[in-house]
Amino acid sequence: MKKDTILVTGGTGYIGSHTVVELQQAGYHVVIIDDLSNSNVDVLDGIERITGIRPDFVEGDCTDMAVVKDLFAKYPGIKGIINFAASKAVGESMQKPILYYRNNLNTLMNLLDMMAEHGVKGIVFSSSCTVYGEPDENPVTEAAPIKKATSPYGNTKQISEEIITDVINAGAPFKSVILRYFNPVGAHQSAEIGELPNGVPQNLIPYVTQAAMGIRKELSVFGDDYDTPDGSCIRDYINVVDLAKAHVIAVERMLEDKSEAKIEIFNLGTGVGLSVLELISAFERATGVKVPHKIVGRRAGDIEKVWANPAYANEVLGWKAETPIEDTMRSAWNWQCRLRERGIM
């Protein structure tokens, strides 16, 4: 029997596409809306090759209420939403704050506005460990204080969490699960979908795989004078498929009313912090391919160290990030090789 219809905004993007695969494999009917501003429609082919099912797709911008209304008119059976549609480059958000506030906040508000009248039971929201800023202690639990955002991007995540909370506290007849991701990395094990950065990658792993491929001369390691064992920054790198699976559990939780709480917040990470230099070693060990790199100065705005305490998600969701980092690194490399085979990069 086919399960309910789930709307995935930003579903052709990096985390979105991996989540669509897991939703379909769990039996859900998926409708994607994406404006393709930072993704490619060919992603639908990759999803179909993995799952045998082509998700319904609408090309559209959710900041436009008319578009969102048309979408709900076309698919009246939507029972849950996962909202990935957002701009996500920290640096760009410093240059174009209005773009970030408009895209990220208007999209969320338009969706929330439509949920009650269409009987949607819940919304999963993509938040980030960025809300913790530089945490006072690691690993970080959900109870850690929210620190002042250091970029408009980060601020949109904080404000979005507040908007959801205010709307639900005002009596909206639906639930929300807010997921605070640590650093999502890797690709689907089939190498049919993965991360496709626009232009020069800003994030570590796409830069690592491109440097390993020879597309970039060398990776710049931003700083080796931090207060960490090897001096480079520490993050919690979580496999994107593990992360995607948590969304399926979150959706089920809301649709099946498994929790009394109307709003729940979970950290999604592995619980293990790895430094930039450790990650490079893990990549080289896993793939046998060298990553040319040099140490350069610190990048403005970087957090020194942050990793998750995922105990609450482990316990309450019955979910755990399980993929070993070496497997994740191999998946990222296989994806890079696939892009090369296809002449994309």
Choosing from 125, 207, 319, 335, the residue that interacts with ligand UFG (CB under 6 A) is 207
The stretch near ligand UFG (CB under 6 A) out of 30-38, 57-65, 88-96, 99-107 is 88-96
Nearer to ligand UFG, 254 or 279 (CB): 279
The single-letter code of the amino acid at 225 is: D
Q: How far is residue 185 from each of residues 181, 269, 328, measured CA to CA in Å?
A: 11, 11, 7
The stretch near ligand UFG (CB under 6 A) out of 4-12, 53-61, 158-166, 198-206 is 198-206
Tell whether residue 299 is a contact of ligand UFG (CB under 6 A).
yes
Tell whether residue 84 is a contact of ligand UFG (CB under 6 A).
no
Beta carbon of residue 193, minimum distance to ligand UFG (angstroms, whole number): 18
**Tokens at residue 142, please?**
């959900």
Contacts (CB under 6 A) with ligand UFG, residues 266-285: 276
Beta strand pairing call for 5-9 and 29-34? parallel
Give dist(CA 31, CA 9) in Å, integer: 8
Beta carbon of residue 302, minimum distance to ligand UFG (angstroms, whole number): 5
Nearer to ligand UFG, 24 or 107 (CB): 107
345 and 200 in contact (C-beta within 8 Å)? Answer: no
The reply to whether 237 belongs to the active site is no
Residue closest to ligand UFG (Cβ): 233
Of the candidates 14, 132, 153, 207, the residue annotated as catalytic is: 153
Tell whether residue 202 is a contact of ligand UFG (CB under 6 A).
yes
| 310 cis-preceded (ω within 30 degrees of 0) | no
Beta carbon of residue 57, minimum distance to ligand UFG (angstroms, whole number): 25
Tell whether residue 100 is a contact of ligand UFG (CB under 6 A).
no
Tell whether residue 88 is a contact of ligand UFG (CB under 6 A).
yes
Tell whether residue 89 is a contact of ligand UFG (CB under 6 A).
yes
Per-residue binding string, ligand UFG, 18-57, x by CB under 6 A, is ----------------------------------------
The stretch near ligand UFG (CB under 6 A) out of 68-76, 85-93, 101-109, 111-119 is 85-93
Choosing from 5, 220, 281, 314, the residue that interacts with ligand UFG (CB under 6 A) is 220
